[in-house]
Every structure is written in C-alpha cells, then in structure tokens.
Amino acid sequence: MGLGFMARLVVIGGGAAGMAAASRAKRLNKNLDVVVIEKTRYVSFALCGIPYYVGCTVKTLDDLLFYPPEEFTKKRGIRILFETTATKIDVGARKVYYVDKNGREGEIDFDYLVLALGARSKAPKIWPEIREAENAFYISHLHSADEIRSYALHLPRHSKAVLVGAGYVGLELAENLSNLGMKVTLVEATPQVAPRALDPDLAAIVEEHLKSKGVEIIKEAPVKEFKIVDGKAKAIVTDKGEIEGDLFVVGVGIEPNVDLAREAGVKIGETGAIWTDDHMRTNIEGVYAVGDAVEHTDLVTGKRVWRPFAQIANKMGYVAGSNIGGREAVFPGSVGTSTFKTFDMIVARTGLSKAEAERNGFKPVEVKLEAGTRAHYIPGGTRITLKVVADEDTGRLLGAQAVGASETVLWRINVVASLLTTKATVWDLFTSDLGYAPPLAPVWDPLIIAARLLMRKLGEKPRKA
C-alpha cells in the first residue's frame, strides 16, 4: 500500500452516499487509504437542490455542495480522482480500472470497494431525439442545473417552459421557472399530478393550487416524441396534440445505474437495483453498495424496494463506512417517507396508501380530515388535509399523506413515519405525547383526531398482538 496504510478502500461515486461511506470509514480507521473515483468535478453534492438553483434561490453550484472538496482531501485525508470514470471492476484481482478526462487509463487495487453508482435518467433512451436539441434537458448531474438555468435566463420573459412529468422534480421546477417569469405547462401521462406521492383526491388540491399560480396542466398525455427543428425542440407530440414550448425539461424516468456492478458479478435484486444485506454488503466479499443504485427492505411490507431518496442514501453510506471502519452497523430499511414543496403547497407522505395496502395483502381502513395547525383563536394559522391508513385486523399503522400550506405537514408525516418504523398501532398514535402550544399546534392535534376517528372503527381499547 505504501504511506503506512494497512488497507485500501476505493469508492466509486462521490455523491452524498459515497462520501458518507468514505468519511465514516476514514474517521473510524485512520490507517485506511481511502480513494474516491468521481466522474465529475464535484463531490458531496445535493441534486435535490437543482430546482432551486434553476430558479436562482440558490446562487452558485458550489452552494449545493455539503462540503468543499478541500474538506475531504486536506482535513479528512481522502484522495479524490476527479473527472475520472471507472470502466471495469475485476473482483478476483481486486482491481478497479478507470480512465481520466484526458483519456489516460489506470488501475487501482482495493481491499474494500463501495459502489455508489447512483441513478440515471431514462430520457435519452425513451426520446433519443432530445440529445440533439439545445433547449431540451434532463437532469443527470449538477451541470444539468447550470445548463437549464443558463438557457432559461437567456430567453425573453414570458417564454414557455414545458415540463414532462408532474412528479417531485416537475412540480418543484414549475415553481422555480415561474419565478423566473416563464409560463409553465406541466404534461403528465397519468390522470393526476404527484401520482407516486398522493391519492387522487389530495392530488386535486395540489392541482388547483398550481392552477391558481398560472401553471397549465395537461394530464393523460404521455409524450410520444419531441419535434426537433434546426437543433431545437419545437414541441412534444402527445395524444392530446402537439404542445409547443421554448424550453423543455424531462422530470420523469430514472433507473438504477447498475451496469458496472452487473458486469463485475454483483447481484442485482428483484427491483433491478443492486442487492445488499442490512450491512450494505453485496454478494461479493469486501464489496459494498450504497445510494440510489441499491434496493432495500420496506419496513411496512417486508418486500424489497428501490427508493432513490437522499436521506436513505446518506444512511446507507454511513452504515457501509461504519462496517468497513470496524464498527458494526445496520440499515434495516425504510418506510417510504417523501416530501416536496411547490409554490405555497407542501406535500408529504409515508408508508402505504389504502390502495397500496390492499395490493400488499392488508385489510386497510382509512380516515381523512381537514384541520387547523394552530389553536383557533390564534391568527395566522392554516389548514391541512390529512389521511391516515391502518390495518383493520390489527390496528397497525400503515401510512399517511398530507397537503397544506403549513410546514407542519412534514413534521406530522414524520411522526407517523417514526411510528411505522416500530410497527406501532392506531392506539400508539392516540397516546403519542405531542407538544402543544396555541401558536404552534391545537390541543387536539390533527394526528390525534385521526387516531380518534380510526378508533371509532377499530375500538377504543388496544388489541393484543
């Protein structure tokens, strides 16, 4: 190894998960030689902040870095090979082969390997014609944000932005491009906005809010192709006709980036993402995988799922780094908590919807309510719409969704998420000792009211397991 190091850890991918693994392992074992191979010039980046960079809320791309590179190279003693692409892994020889930005090839030995390969957009596969369009974009890395913002800022005010997909990215970009003075049209293949996050009735609340902000929404309009003229996208072609625009952004269709892992013999799970155990170990000794290319266990259903969420990726990296560094840790799984904000509307969910619960073999019961977020006599409060789902046979909580103009939408869903992690029941929710103060929450919190409504159906007395 040289330099007095006893073993080497190579991390492929310098995103949040990869750098969490590298940093944790190095912190626990100073004698570990840690090398990160990163294909861009950035590490420890927050892709979730891209819509806010596009809308100029975030001023520079460097602001989207959790830490500057010097934090890792100078303070933590981690070597980073920037603008370098791993091309092959030989697990038998314990080598990673790579090529740098100048085309120079190289190889590096490893004792431990972490695959932090991330996810990638399927847009260029689905619509290969967008590769030749200077005004059609999809998010692949931080530089995508620069490209979108630069193009948007050079367009005349009130130019038209067409967003393909009304999921998290599309809805966040709708707000941020509107803030730049653009007219925004959302084009969604399904019958509702936020199809992965919300039931149709709650999605309708979000849709009305978007319309009130001037966003045009075209649903049940899957995109067949992009119409390209002289190197620019002029329109998208759908069953509802052609939709013209000046700027196009695809916000749908990602997949785990597993090619390198598959070629090396790493097991790919049933979801199409990399399989690991709860220590983040793959099927190959000394090889770990973390982040958006990795599947894990759903703690509500017990099934394997792929959830490319930042909070999950960071935890995976921490757990892998701990195990490599000599301190045992586990990542048991997740319950599927997610949230986003679009204009003044906050959306959050966790666990299963009623329909999802039925598909997974539960006998679900659901309640829905609208309630205030402060005591009624305190001015300035807002109202939220909340759904909570439980299993009729056991009273076990299964999921929740909420929308509203209050940030408390998220913390209320986070309460349910924590209870889901422990397989808690409706009666556990009712007895949860939630904080109360008139300017902050009503004495009968919406969550407690939801529990009471469920108890009308399930009974007041907790059932024995």
Render pLDDT for 109-164 as a digit per residue (tens, 0 to 9).
999 999 999 999 999 999 999 998 999 999 988 889 999 999 999 999 999 999 99
Taking alpha carbons only, the member of 361, 279, 300, 396 closest to residue 21 is 279
Mean pLDDT of 326-354: 98
pLDDT for 67 equals 82
For every residue of 216-231, DSSP letters joined together read EEE-S--EEEEEEETT
Q: Which residue has the tokens 């977020």?
A: 373
What is the pLDDT averaged over residues 33-47? 93
Does residue 308 sit within a domain? yes
Identify the weakest region by mean pLDDT among 68-72, 245-249, 256-260, 297-301: 68-72
**Pair 271, 306: CB distance under 8 Å:** yes
Cα–Cα distance, 110 to 88 (Å, whole number) = 13
Question: Where among 190, 217, 252 does a domain terminate?
Answer: 252
Of 252, 267, 283, the position where a domain reaches its end is: 252
338 belongs to a structural domain: no
Q: In this structure, which amino acid lies at residue 72? A: F
Q: How many domains does the chain have?
A: 3
Asked if the model's pLDDT at residue 342 lies above 70, the reply is yes
| Interval 163-177: pLDDT, tens | 999 999 999 999 999
Helices 168-179 & 200-212 angle (0-180, nearest 10): 10
Tell me the pLDDT band of 212, cut-offs 50, 70 and 90. very high
d(C-alpha 310, C-alpha 289), whole Å = 15
The residue among 463 and 43 whose pLDDT is bigger is 43
Q: Does one domain contain both 111 and 182?
A: no
Q: How far apart are CA 90 and CA 67, in angstroms?
A: 31
Residues 364 and 447 in one domain: yes
Q: How far apart are CA 279 and CA 453, in angstroms?
A: 40
* pLDDT one-digit tens code per residue, 81-118: 999 999 999 999 999 999 999 999 999 999 999 999 99
Q: Tell me, yes or no, whether 156 and 225 share the same domain.
A: yes
Residue 157 and residue 203 in one domain = yes
Q: 376 with 437, same domain? A: yes
Predicted confidence (pLDDT) per residue in 402-435, tens digit: 999 999 999 999 999 999 999 999 999 999 999 9
DSSP 115-160: E---EEE-HHHH-GGGGG-TTEEE-SSHHHHHHHHHHHHTSPTT-E
**Is residue 332, in this structure, part of any structural domain at all?**
no
Residue 442 has pLDDT above 70, yes or no: yes
Task: Please report the sign of the dihedral spanned by the C-alpha atoms of residue 361, residue 367, residue 372, residue 377.
Answer: negative
Q: What is the mean pLDDT of the segment spanning 207-235?
A: 97
Percent of the chain scoring above 70 in pLDDT:
99
How do strand 397-404 and strand 345-351 relate by DSSP bridges?
A: antiparallel
What pLDDT sits at residue 46?
Answer: 82
Say how far apart CA 380 and CA 85 lie, in whole Å: 53
Summarize the chain as % helix, strand, coil (round to 5).
30, 30, 40
Whether 231 and 287 map to the same domain: the answer is no
Instruction: Output 277 or 2, whichever has higher pLDDT.
Output: 277
**287 touches 281 (CB < 8 A):** yes
For residues 172 and 221, membership in a common domain is answered with yes
The answer to whether residue 336 sits within a structural domain is no
Residues 238, 263 within the same domain = no
Is residue 331, in this structure, part of any structural domain at all?
no
> 127 and 248: one domain?
yes
Q: Is the pLDDT confidence value at 25 over 50? A: yes
Q: What is the secondary structure of 280-323 as a DSSP string?
A: -B-SSTTEEE-GGGB-EEBTTT--EE----HHHHHHHHHHHHHH
- Rounded to the nearest 10 degrees, what angle do helices 16-28 and 310-325 cross at? 30
Q: How many residues does the chain have?
A: 465
Q: Which of 7, 46, 48, 268 is catalytic?
A: 48
- 374 — pLDDT class (breaks 50, 70, 90): very high
CATH of the domain at 409: 3.30.390.30
The verdict on 445 and 349 lying in the same domain is yes
- 48: annotated active-site residue: yes
Using pLDDT thresholds of 50, 70 and 90, give the confidence band for residue 66.
confident
User: Per-residue confidence at 2, pLDDT binned at 50, 70, 90?
Assistant: very low
What pLDDT does residue 4 have?
54
Looking up residue 97, the CATH number of its domain turns out to be 3.50.50.60
Q: Which pLDDT tens digit goes with each residue over 303-323?
A: 999 999 999 999 999 999 999
At 219, is the pLDDT very low, low, confident or very high (cuts 50, 70, 90)? very high
Least confident of 3-17, 148-162, 264-278: 3-17
Query: Is there a domain that residue 464 lies in?
Result: no
Does the predicted TM-score (pTM) go above 0.85? yes
Question: What average pLDDT does the chain have?
Answer: 95
What does the pLDDT average to over 215-236? 97
Residues 88 and 201 placed together within one structural domain of the fold: no
- Structural domain that includes position 22: 7-118+255-325
- Do 23 and 113 share a domain, yes or no? yes
Residue 22 falls inside a structural domain = yes
Percent of the chain with pLDDT over 90: 92
Task: Tell which of 264, 294, 325 closes a domain.
Answer: 325
Q: Is the distance from CB of 115 to CB of 71 less than 8 angstroms?
A: no
Where helices occur in 326-365 by DSSP H, the ranges are 354-359
Closest CA to 284 of 92, 27, 32, 81: 92
Q: Is residue 47 within 8 Å of residue 1, measured between CB atoms?
A: no
Please report whether residue 234 resides in a domain.
yes
Q: Mean pLDDT, to the nearest integer, of 361-374?
A: 97
Calculate mean pLDDT across residues 49-65.
93
Query: Which pLDDT band, with edges at 50, 70 and 90, does 5 fall under?
Result: low
Rounded to whole angstroms, the maximal C-alpha distance in the chain is 71
